[in-house]
Amino acid sequence: DAGITQSPRHKVTETGTPVTLRCHQTENHRYMYWYRQDPGHGLRLIHYSYGVKDTDKGEVSDGYSVSRSKTEDFLLTLESATSSQTSVYFCAISFSSGVFSTDTQYFGPGTRLTVL
């Protein structure tokens, strides 16, 4: 195990409610990522972080925000959940990143979110 936990593991919520997903790592890795995985779309990057308070958008960031106040925690917030955000959300960490890196991404177990 790469020391990554996600909470909650399952959540059902209603449209319009705020939702926060938590990713916690014990590896002290600099980079953290949030992906969503949907049938027919594969894994798509929502947001990522390259350090405390340093975050950037991925390819599907609309409707999501993130925060990283500590190295070990990366939070994903859906300010007002919609049914289109029903998905499985994965957190990942890596030691390094970028064009000249071949570093492994280690994934958490995922959070299954259902928005009714």
**Residue whose CB is less far from other proteins, 59 or 62:** 59
Name the minimum Å distance from CB 4 to other proteins: 8
Transcribe 45-61 into DSSP letters.
EEEEEEETTEEEE-TT-
Name the minimum Å distance from CB 29 to other proteins: 14
**Residue whose CB is less far from other proteins, 62 or 98:** 98
Please report how many Cα atoms fall inside a 13 Å half-sphere around the Cα of residue 28, on the Cβ side.
0
Residue 79 — left, alpha, or beta (φ > 0 → left; ψ -120 to 50 → alpha)? alpha
Transcribe 27-41 into DSSP letters.
S--SEEEEEEEETTT
Name the minimum Å distance from CB 101 to other proteins: 7
**Residue whose CB is less far from other proteins, 42 or 62:** 42
Site residues for other proteins per CB under 8 A: 35, 40-45, 48, 58-59, 90, 92, 97-102, 104-110
